[in-house]
Structure formats: C-alpha cells, structure tokens
Structure 1
Amino acid sequence: MTRKEALVDSIVAYLLEHGLADLSLRPLAAATGTSARLLIYHFESKEGLLTEILEAMQARLRQSFARLLEPQAGGKQPQPPLKLLWHWAIADANYPYFKLLYELQILAIQNPEAYAQYLQRNALNWSDLILSIIPAPRRDPAFATLCGAVFDGLFLELMGTGDRKRTTQALDRFIRIVGDARAFRADT
C-alpha cells in the first residue's frame, strides 16, 4: 500500500467519524498523522481531496457489491438485485459509508464548478452498476435512472427519518409495481 492509499484510508475513517460539516485541512491532517501541506501535495486542494476520497469510497463499494452479486451456490439470487443492493447498503457495516457518500454528493452538487467531472463520472458509474444488475429484457438507461432515483430518494428518506422498515417497504412496493407493470406490457 502506498503512502497516499494509506492516507486515503485514514481520511475516510476520519470523515466517517466527523462528517463534512466543519471539515478543515489542519485538523484533518493532525488526525491522520500528516500536515496540511502534505495533503495539498497529494491532493492539490480540499476539493481534489474530497473528489479522490469519493471516488475511492465508491470504487470500494461497487467492488464489494459486485462480489455480493457473484453467483451463489445453486446459481440463483435469493432476491431481486435492487432489493439485494438496498439490504447491503443499509446494513450496519455499509450504512455509514453510504451516508458519507450522500453528504459528499450534496456538497459536490452545491459546488458544481469544482466537482463537475466527479458528478458526471459518479452518475455514469452508478448507472453502469445498476444496468449490470437489471435483467436483460429490462436493461435500458431510462429504467436504470429510475431505479437509481428511487434508491437515492429512499436512502435520503432513511437518512432523514431513520425508518428502515418503512423505506424498505417502499422499495418492496416499487419492485412489485415494476413487476406488475411488466406483466401488463404487450411487448414483454
């Protein structure tokens, strides 16, 4: 592991504990055993640091989810992929990472000049992941966008209310609605 990779891990741990609300490079540097000057050296700016942290966290989460999707014994997935993604994301081990990602995403949306490239890559990466888990007959960019928007909305609702039961029931309802709509389409 390179020094920068170790630093990214330390920064992620710091952000998981402290969030972004009052992020300042000096306290971050002190907490991660480096200096603000070295953070700038490695990441060029606070925005560059956050962009790299976001990308590293998302890459790790996507890899983790891809491993979860690997064929199970018997070759059958026990639940719809979107539900599998939901349960994986809200699990105690993953929820703090997703919560931080949404916090970072909102920061990036508020400052699109600094984060424009990140925002576009992020949208494409998650759309690609969603497209890869949608069954082939339903696989199209508009449907992937709809699934991603439902997931985002429900996750933000979960963050705001803490109500896992209701948000999970809402996802189940969406999955049923999509399944019911497919049954009534003549071209399916």
Structure 2
Amino acid sequence: MENATGYRRSAGSARGETRRRELLATITDDVAENGLVDFSLRRAAKSAGTTHKVLLYHFESAEDLLRQVVFSLRERRIGNALTAVAASSASLTDRVRAAWVSLRDEESALRRVLDQAMGLAMYDPGRYAALGRGASQQYLPTLVSFCPPDWPEQRKFEVASMILATLRGFLVDLLTSADGDSAAAGFEALLRAVEREEAAP
C-alpha cells in the first residue's frame, strides 16, 4: 500500500502497529517537550532516531502524524483530569471543579503544545482544521460521562458542551492574562450554573 507521497505504507501487521506506536510515543514526548514550532517529518524522524521515509511507511503524511501526536497529548490531559475526578464526589459540580484544577495546574509544556495546536487550526484551517475539530470530539464524551446517568442524552450533551466551551475560554484567559483572576471568577459562575442544572428537575 502507498500513501499520497508514493512511499510504501504499513499494511497494519501486528509488528508494524507495534513499531508505529513506539514511534508515535517517542515523537509525542519530543513534541510535549519542544512544542509544535518548526514541526516537520525530518524533525520528528530525528527525535525518533529514524528517517522521514520510515515515518511515511507508518503514517500517511506529516499532517497525519501531527494529528495523532496531538490526539495522544489530549489523551494525557483527559487521563490527568479523570484521575483528579476519581478522587472527587459523584456530583457533576465536584467533578467539574476537580477537572478544572487538573487543567489549571497541568504542566505548562502540555498546555502550551495544545494551545499551539488550536492556534494552527485557526491560522490555517485548510491544512489543520482536524486539530480543532478533533478537540471537541475527544473531550465531549468525558464531560458527558460526568453528568448524572439518569439525565436524557440530549441534556447531557448540552450541559457538557456548555462546560467544554467555558473551560476552553478560561484556558485562553490563563494564557493571556497575568494573574488568572478573571478565569477564577468566571469559573465560580460556571459552578453556580452547573449547580442549578443539577438542582433542576
């Protein structure tokens, strides 16, 4: 099988999949440490100790590799949030509070890279739109799972969407403000809105 560049592609053998995962993990660690600026197949290959041709054997393109790297980093973020939520009470309000603390206090390198990914999606949507669309698709199921199980699915989706959009705005505020006071104040208002949702019939 060949990709768009004409290089032979891995056909999905168990051995090939194991190697693909190893490469992805190594490159993801590099991006987490060094960011997305100047990301390229050659830089990724260097960090993984291989060649760009080998990467094109396992990934469709530089964009495909970047998409999978960002997906992996978001999985780390979600895993951190779920760990924090597991230690909280069963209420949606407490789960949102625990998830926000995890997001607010996460390592700056992880936040920086995921912010850069959203920046790329906005700067060049023709090439990187998938980085932006993938975020909501990845985060929403987790937030839906925080909602009371007896809620109708549409209500879960609506409330989870509100929480996601608001928390993303707070992350931008943390990135662009010196003290984070407005994000903290806004978050308290969000918690009150979530409490009202929980109290509603």
Q: What is the alpha-carbon distance in structure 1 between the residues aligned to residue 130 and residue 55 of structure 2?
A: 21
Q: What is the alpha-carbon distance in structure 1 between the residues aligned to residue 26 and residue 38 of structure 2?
A: 17
Q: Name the residue aligned to 2:147.
A: 134
1:108 aligned residue (121, 124, 144): 121
Task: Give how far 1:88 is off.
Answer: 0.7
Matches within 5 A, 1:7-156: 7-70=23-86, 80-93=94-107, 95-115=108-128, 119-136=132-149, 137=151, 139-156=155-172
% identity of equivalent residues: 23
Structure 2: which 5+ residue stretches go unaligned?
A: 1-16
For residue 42 of structure 1, what is the amino acid of its counterpart? Answer: H
Q: What is the alpha-carbon distance in structure 1 between the residues aligned to residue 43 and residue 175 of structure 2?
A: 26
Is the 2:67–2:131 contact (alpha carbons within 8 Å) kept by the matching residues of 1?
A: yes
Task: Give how far 1:66 is off.
Answer: 2.8
Is the 1:158–1:164 contact (alpha carbons within 8 Å) kept by the matching residues of 2?
A: yes
Is the 2:118–2:131 contact (alpha carbons within 8 Å) kept by the matching residues of 1?
A: no
Asked if 1:173 is matched to 2:189, the reply is yes
Q: Name the residue aligned to 2:8.
A: none
Q: Alpha-carbon deviations, 1:146-177, whole Å to 9, x = none?
A: 11111000101111225345423321232124
Q: Name the residue aligned to 2:176.
A: 160
Q: What is the alpha-carbon distance in structure 1 between the residues aligned to residue 90 and residue 196 of structure 2?
A: 22
State the Cα RMSD in Å.
3.1
Structure 1: which 5+ residue stretches go unaligned?
A: none
Q: Name the residue aligned to 1:4.
A: 20
How many residues are paired up? 182
Where 1:2 maps in the other structure, the secondary structure is helix
TM-score, reference length from structure 2: 0.73
Is the 2:28–2:69 contact (alpha carbons within 8 Å) kept by the matching residues of 1?
A: yes
Q: What is the alpha-carbon distance in structure 2 between the residues aligned to residue 118 and residue 36 of structure 1?
A: 22
The verdict on how the C-alpha distance between 1:24 and 1:125 changes in structure 2, with shifts beyond 3 A counting, is closer
